[in-house]
Structure 1
Amino acid sequence: MLSKLESVLMPLAEKIGKNKYLIAVRDGFLLSMPLLIVGSFFLLIANFPIPGWSDFWARFFGEDWVSYFAKPTDATFSIMAILAVVGIGYSFAEQMNVDKLFGAASAMVSWFLIMPYEVLLEGGGSVKGIPLDWVGSKGIFVGIICAFLSIHIYAWVNKKGWVIKMPEGVPPTVVKSFAALIPAGVSMLVFFVINIVFAMTPFHSAFDFIFTILQVPLLKLGNTLPAMVIAYIFLHLFWFFGVNGGSVVAAVFNPILQTLSAENLAAYQAGAPIPNIICQQFQDLFATFGGCGSALSLMIAMLLFCRSKRIRELGKLSLVPGLFGINEPIVFGLPIVLNPMILIPFMLVPTINIVISYICMSIGLVPLCSGVAIPWTMPVVLSGFLSTGWQGAVLQLVLLVLGIFVYMPFIKMMDKQYLADEAKATAAQDDDDISLDDLSFDDL
């Protein structure tokens, strides 16, 4: 059974892991991640989940003190699509073996070429300008498509040799600039035509078309419990076979989660009801604790219920990194990889976490994640408190304890096996030891 499963999953994981489009999306979003986290810290300070926090600081800095802290958040989340387009364009240009910097710039300009420069006013009417909706979360999917298409055009022209070549002695920067002129120009021309074509349709722009036809259905699908559970089952199956499941699944699923988080954050800032249960923070903070498999529960179970030296020492070494979401010592040291004895709880505990968290949030026991970007390395309980208040911290603690007891019977079976192995090793060592008491001169 395991060999058949491995024969199916390993080639699939290898193909996904080497897919240049998914690599570009995965690496491209990393450009925006540190900036979004920094912006979230400012928002977190302005909206710290303690009663009376805002009123306390208003006494010293005035009623508008929150607006100053909101500015760094607006400077990151409100333009997250720009960061994504530049990052994906840069990464995909590297995959296509063309100049990364000019490729990223070409992708961004092509994206802006098809954007409608119209900002709707609350009282009716509109003015010319760049709408924050489209450079924010709503424009991400259009940006991904534009980045891929523009870089493909750029690489095609470059491969044809339609570039301006400068004589020797010209500075390298000038050479690269002129070499990019025709490929970037052709890419812009294509998107110029695309903009005209969509302007003649009922959608009026490519942004409205893709948002209506593609992005809205994808967000509705991604914001469902079955989609989350299925994604995490595959994620942990990949890890079981030694493939980084987080990287494989994240390339497909994270753009959806990040868009849902941005919608939550916009509603949170506006004081409106938060719309999405499932989002990036739901995945990072409530699906697993201590890395894949919710391994922090496993580490604690190892220390509480096991007696073999191997498991206890590994548990001690892994506990501190596990508090910050790093669990490679357990994955490869216990091991979890290709260990059928631990596969069931490894997949079951995250699934239980997801289902219980979803139910608790859907019935109102725990507030929904606000969309504030809490680092995935934030320790359990503290991360839940910062994301949803004390209710989230309690939920995390309950799930952590529940996971300990799910892992307990399975890790005790492994402990029994390791104890037997250690006893055999000790007996073999005793047999090999030479004692002077065993020597007799009568044998000479």
Structure 2
Amino acid sequence: MSKVNVFLEEKVMPVAGKIAAQRHLQALRDGIILAMPLIIIGSLFLILGFLPIPGYNEWMASIFGELWLTKLTYPVTATFDIMALVATFGIAYRLAEHYKVDPLSAGAISLSAFVLATPYFTMFTPAGTEAAIEVTGVLPIALLGSKGLFVGILIALLSTEIFRYIIKKGLVIKMPDGVPPSVSKSFIALFPAAIVIIVVWLLRLIIEMTPFESLHNIVGQLLQEPLSVFGTTLIGAIVYVLLVHLLWVCGLHGAAIIGGIMGPIMLAATDENRLALQAGTEIPNIVNMQFFEIFIHMGGSGATLMFAIMMLIFAKSQQSKQLGKLAIGPGIFNINEPIVFGAPIVMNPILMIPFILAPVVMAISTFVFMQIGFAPKATGIAVPWTTPPIIGGLLATGGDWRGGMMQAINLVIAFAIYYPFFKVWDKQNLQLEKGTEDDKTSE
């Protein structure tokens, strides 16, 4: 076993394994995923609203009226702009499942606590005036979406920990055995819910006496903004890619583990781009969720689609050819477990090099090309990660052909990096097969 393998097995895998099994990160990842179907549905309406076809806006206006775009994007508001609410419920639900306490009650309590932590006013500028006025008795929709996501995460974790602690201590109202289970669970949740609400209420009152005024302002200024600034830079993108793929070569799902930490940042960056698209302003973020899922992870983590194509077309060993036939179908839809565990890439000193190197180079090339305007930025449309290459690039950039071209360029880069390592690996497989045949002949 090489020194690299020994280091990965003895030093990296134990730490990464503990991170992967950490219940809060698992709940964070699974809870945010709950919002993804809604965001993808909202993205379909975004695509219809912003097709880059000359005369499209005028044609739609002639059929559906001047307000056609406003009405078409109603579902966008109903999906994107409640992601913090949905994620708050989902994270609390999943964490409660880990603790084996009632997840439905935990989700409902955290949802109430999140609303309690959110200011009940918004600023509104009437048409024809410059001065904004304060409108009370409302929940600002901006804080229910991506801007409130970090607060939702913290509230979900805090409220569920309080909920779990009180229940485990037995400080609950227990009903007689004949009471229906749903009623009994509601009464069990009564006292823990009261404690959660009181804690968040007191926290809000204390924060309102500070210059921050709200928990959203504290989290935004001290946590979300610094993380977003780093996470959406080229250095942040490279660090993200390196961590994801180092975990994969150890046999751990790197995208799921690191995504649990970076997912909220990438999702918020995606939504900032969506808001800019709707407002008709410049797209702000190069690095967002689609930057990785669409332009880097083609074929799955490690950009292994070209490796699958190599096996299918250029392989000389039977093992490589058969694996190529098995891997090409899933690879087109960005699923690469057959390659990662079948080649294998895990703990393989030859294949782990291009598996890590190719995505890093592709991240750099994509960032640079988007920064100089050679390729378009992802517009905030949440394209499913299983969308095949080229199609995914077109959809993620609002139908811009240069998005598909950027994917094609990255596929060429992946091919160039993988090919020499593929040749060495395939030659080893061929030698092993010949050796086996010689042994059988000698017998």
Alignment of 1:282-297 (within 5 A): 282-297=291-306
Could you tell me which residue of structure 2 aligns to residue 382 of structure 1?
A: 391
Could you tell me which residue of structure 1 aligns to residue 429 of structure 2?
A: 418
> Do the aligned residues in 2 keep the contact of 1:288 with 1:353 (CA within 8 Å)?
no
Could you tell me which residue of structure 1 aligns to residue 189 of structure 2?
A: 180
Could you tell me which residue of structure 1 aligns to residue 26 of structure 2?
A: 23
Selected match of 1:268 from 277, 280, 290: 277
Could you tell me which residue of structure 2 aligns to residue 189 of structure 1?
A: 198
Could you tell me which residue of structure 1 aligns to residue 55 of structure 2?
A: 52
Selected match of 2:326 from 309, 317, 329: 317
Could you tell me which residue of structure 2 aligns to residue 110 of structure 1?
A: 113
Please tell me the residue identity of whatever aligns with 2:273. Answer: N
- Counterpart CA distance in 2 for 1:326 and 1:275 is 30
Selected match of 1:372 from 378, 381, 386: 381
Could you tell me which residue of structure 1 aligns to residue 218 of structure 2?
A: 209
Does 185-194 or 51-60 show the bigger shift? Answer: 51-60
Deviations 1:254-299 (A, max 9, x none): 1110011111111111111111110001111111210011000111
SS at match of 2:304: helix
Give the Å deviation of 1:57: 3.4
Alignment of 1:24-423 (within 5 A): 24-122=27-125, 123-128=131-136, 129-388=138-397, 389-423=400-434
Give the Å deviation of 1:105: 0.8
> Do the aligned residues in 2 keep the contact of 1:40 with 1:73 (CA within 8 Å)?
yes
- Counterpart CA distance in 2 for 1:341 and 1:146 is 45
Give the Å deviation of 1:244: 1.1
Q: How many pairs are equivalent?
A: 432
Give runs of ≥4 in structure 1 deviating > 6 Å: none
- Counterpart CA distance in 2 for 1:349 and 1:207 is 38
- Counterpart CA distance in 2 for 1:320 and 1:124 is 55
Deviations 1:47-95 (A, max 9, x none): 2233333334334333333223211111010111001101011111122
Deviations 1:227-273 (A, max 9, x none): 11112112111111211111111111111100111111111111111
**Unmatched 5+ residue regions in structure 1?**
433-444
Deviations 1:353-411 (A, max 9, x none): 10000001111111211111000000100110111211111111011022112111111
- Counterpart CA distance in 2 for 1:45 and 1:239 is 37
Please tell me the residue identity of whatever aligns with 1:87. Answer: G
Please tell me the residue identity of whatever aligns with 2:132. Answer: G
Deviations 1:124-176 (A, max 9, x none): 11111100111011111111111111111112221222211112211111111
Deviations 1:17-39 (A, max 9, x none): 11111011001011101111111
- Counterpart CA distance in 2 for 1:108 and 1:343 is 43
How large is the RMSD of aligned CA atoms in angstroms?
A: 1.4
SS at match of 1:183: helix
> Do the aligned residues in 2 keep the contact of 1:90 with 1:103 (CA within 8 Å)?
yes
> More helix by proportion, 1 or 2?
1
Identity %: 41
- Counterpart CA distance in 2 for 1:48 and 1:16 is 42
> Do the aligned residues in 1 keep the contact of 2:8 with 2:250 (CA within 8 Å)?
no
**Unmatched 5+ residue regions in structure 2?**
126-130
> Do the aligned residues in 2 keep the contact of 1:24 with 1:89 (CA within 8 Å)?
yes
Please tell me the residue identity of whatever aligns with 1:383. Answer: G
> Do the aligned residues in 2 keep the contact of 1:300 with 1:404 (CA within 8 Å)?
no
> Do the aligned residues in 2 keep the contact of 1:49 with 1:386 (CA within 8 Å)?
no
Which structure is larger by alpha-carbon Rg, 1 or 2?
1
Calculate the TM-score normalised by the size of structure 1: 0.94
- Counterpart CA distance in 2 for 1:329 and 1:427 is 29
> Do the aligned residues in 2 keep the contact of 1:78 with 1:132 (CA within 8 Å)?
yes
Calculate the TM-score normalised by the size of structure 2: 0.95
Please tell me the residue identity of whatever aligns with 2:135. Answer: V
Please tell me the residue identity of whatever aligns with 1:76. Answer: T
- Counterpart CA distance in 1 for 2:396 and 2:59 is 21
Could you tell me which residue of structure 2 aligns to residue 439 of structure 1?
A: none
Does 378-387 or 415-424 show the bigger shift? Answer: 415-424
- Counterpart CA distance in 1 for 2:63 and 2:133 is 40
> Do the aligned residues in 2 keep the contact of 1:301 with 1:405 (CA within 8 Å)?
no
Give the Å deviation of 1:5: 2.8
- Counterpart CA distance in 1 for 2:322 and 2:91 is 42
> Do the aligned residues in 1 keep the contact of 2:120 with 2:139 (CA within 8 Å)?
yes
Q: 1:337 to 1:121 in 2, by over 3 A?
A: same
SS at match of 1:292: coil
